[in-house]
A and B are shown apart, each in its own frame.
Chain A
Amino acid sequence: MSNKSVPGSIDSSGNKQGTFLEGEQSRPHEHNSGSSGRDVEAFRNTYKDDKVVHREKASDWGKIHNDNDYADYDSSGDSGK
């Protein structure tokens, strides 16, 4: 839907207003195939006064799975974003 939405902008106070296409990655996870990694994808985040009021996957941009070996992954303090 939101590829029709009004593009985001930064107002004079430095606040995000409108819809921004923003990349994010998930925290590392493992699949039934035994592979593990992070999902990297785009979201359309819609802001009002710098607060996200709506977000959705930018399905028209797709996603990738970043396959990595996380055997030594240390979970402490990793937000994934």
Chain B
Amino acid sequence: MFKHMIKKILKFFKSLIKKDKNVIFQGSDWKDYSDFEFRWMEIILTKDILKREDLLFLLKRFKIKFLEKNWENSIGTEEMGNVLINDVPKKELWLEVFGILSKRYADKLNFDEAYKIWEKLGGYSRNDLLNTYKRISTDKNINNFVNDKNFLENEESTSDFLKLFIIEEFYKISKKEVIKFLEK
């Protein structure tokens, strides 16, 4: 009973402090990202490109923690990445992600390289994109999906998906392998 009352009083004071500080959490403004920048960040942070330890480092760097017990082990990497994109302003997140990529993932495409490839893919026909994806695809489910006649009905949408799928595949292999692949 006594413990419960103390808890209630503490909660009340905590709410007063919060109101005094006028804490309104804004998080990241996604309008700061270009279309490709946002997609690229989403690939890097939510599609198992960065290792769990690096996502944990980023969360701790920005003093974000989940309230679940033992969250460092229980929260999925996609959810960690999503929260980072939601809650950390682009400029700060960008610097840290660039730093991690250049230090620990130097064998992967950097942002500029990925963007150049994205632009190059923009000039491909849908058939070229489909053939390129089929050559590099490692995901059986996506492969079945892109071969579905319903998927192929909408040309604009199909090309957009395929470009994204190709970039995602390129992040599963090294930069050297990507260059070799594109030369063929």
Q: Do A and B bind each other?
A: yes
A contact set with B: CB distance below 8 Å = 1-2, 4-6, 17-18, 26-37, 39, 41, 46, 48, 51, 53-54, 56-57, 59, 62-63, 65, 67, 69-73, 75, 78, 80
Contact count band on B: 35 or more
With A27-B66, A32-B63, A51-B141 already in contact, the answer to whether A39 and B23 are too (CB < 8 A) is no
List chain A residues, Cβ under 8 A from B85.
57
| Inter-subunit contact B150/A27 (CB<8 Å) | no
Name B residues whose Cβ lies closer than 8 Å to a Cβ of A.
7, 11, 14-15, 18, 21, 23-27, 30, 33, 35, 38-39, 42, 62-69, 71, 75, 79, 82-83, 85-87, 139, 141-142, 144-145, 148, 150-151, 153-154, 156-157, 160-161, 164-165
A31 touches B75 (CB 8 A): no
Checking B30, B67, B141, B154 against A62 with a beta-carbon cut-off of 8 angstroms, the contacting residue is B30
A28: nearest chain-B partner, CB-CB: B67
Q: Which residues of B contact A41 (CB under 8 A)?
A: 82, 86
Q: Are B157 and A2 in contact (CB under 8 A)?
A: yes
The 9 closest A-B pairs by CB, nearest first: A32-B63, A75-B68, A48-B145, A5-B157, A1-B160, A35-B25, A28-B67, A53-B145, A29-B66
